[in-house]
Amino acid sequence: MTNKKFRLIVVGDEILSGKRQDKHMAKMIELLSERGLALSQVEYVGDDREAITEVLKRSFATNDVVFSTGGIGSTPDDHTRQCAAAALNLPLELHPQAQQLITQRILTMAEGDPVKSDLNSSDNLLRMKMGEFPKGSQIIPNPFNQIPGFYIQEHYFVPGFPVMAAPMMTWVLDHFYKDLFHQVDFLERSFIVPLAMEASLTPLMEKIENTYPDVKVFSLPSVGDPQKSGVFAKRHIELGVKGQSAQVELAWPKLRQGVQDLGHIIHDLHNNGE
């Protein structure tokens, strides 16, 4: 499992329309980074059953660890549970543990009201559908309101609400992937090159990557921010190397010297990024 890739699928028209801003990607990056892992890809898809099914079909064909947020509720625009089942050619089944958890949630929220606690009411029958998952799925506990998510074939389905999704993603990582935490020998170093043009640095970047195949050279150009001071106020490039630490240590001085040989000044970054 040491070469596992972690991906994220974000489902929801509200994200694509701009009505809501996606917070899942930033949280996923944070959770993975804290554990020495990295996010390799993010995919966004609207509330379209055919589109979600196609995305999941492709995803299930990989060996990646995939988190999917959104669309697991019981309203007409929630399709993810059904699409996951269709992508795997499996039926939906009411998971017995999910049934228990949803039942308990219904009774708790009813507060003794016999109408609200009637499990055969149309509202509660609809709520129970949130426990219908592709056959063979297992549940992901939801500490916020006890309505679980589910997982199957290393695909982990959680609600679109960040307050629910974040602790559920944390649970998945800590329960199933602890053996991958902080295993990657990774180092990243960078510096600022004021007023540089990427074209003038590209041959050097290519030379470094050819010489040290276990590192990547990255270039992050900026037009500058007048509200900042010093080199950050004007056009500049953040140039760096990342990858296997021993190779980075070798490539780092070569990159610096190469930039200086081209006549550029180097501005070193401090812990605060300036």
Give the model confidence (pLDDT) of 161-194 as tens digits: 999 999 999 999 999 999 999 887 888 999 999 9
Considering the four listed CATH numbers 2.170.190.11, 3.40.50.1220, 3.20.10.10, 3.40.980.10, the one that applies to the domain covering 6-180 is 3.40.980.10
Return d(Cα 128, Cα 259) in angstroms, integer: 62
Per cent of the chain over pLDDT 70 is 97
Kindly list the domain boundaries of the chain, sorted by start residue.
Answer: 6-180, 187-268
- Torsion angles phi and psi, residue 29, rounded to 5: -60, -45
Condensed to tens digits (0 to 9), the pLDDT of residues 50-70 reads 999 999 999 999 999 999 999
- Domain at 187-268: CATH code: 3.30.70.2520
Sequence-distant (6+) residues with CB within 8 A of 45 are 9, 10, 11, 51, 52, 55
Bridge pairing between strands 132-134 and 92-94: antiparallel
272 or 30, which is more confident: 30
- 182-196 burial: b if 16+ Cβ within 10 Å, else e: eeeeebebbbbbbeb
Q: Would you say how long the chain is, in residues?
A: 274
Question: Are the CB atoms for 112 and 71 separated by under 8 Å?
Answer: no
**Residue 149 corresponds to which tokens in the numbers above?**
């998510």
Condensed to tens digits (0 to 9), the pLDDT of residues 95-147 reads 999 999 999 999 998 998 988 999 999 999 999 999 999 999 999 999 999 99
pLDDT at 274: 46
> Across-strand partners of 251?
none
Statement: the pTM of the whole predicted model exceeds 0.85: no
**Residue 270 corresponds to which tokens in the numbers above?**
């401090």
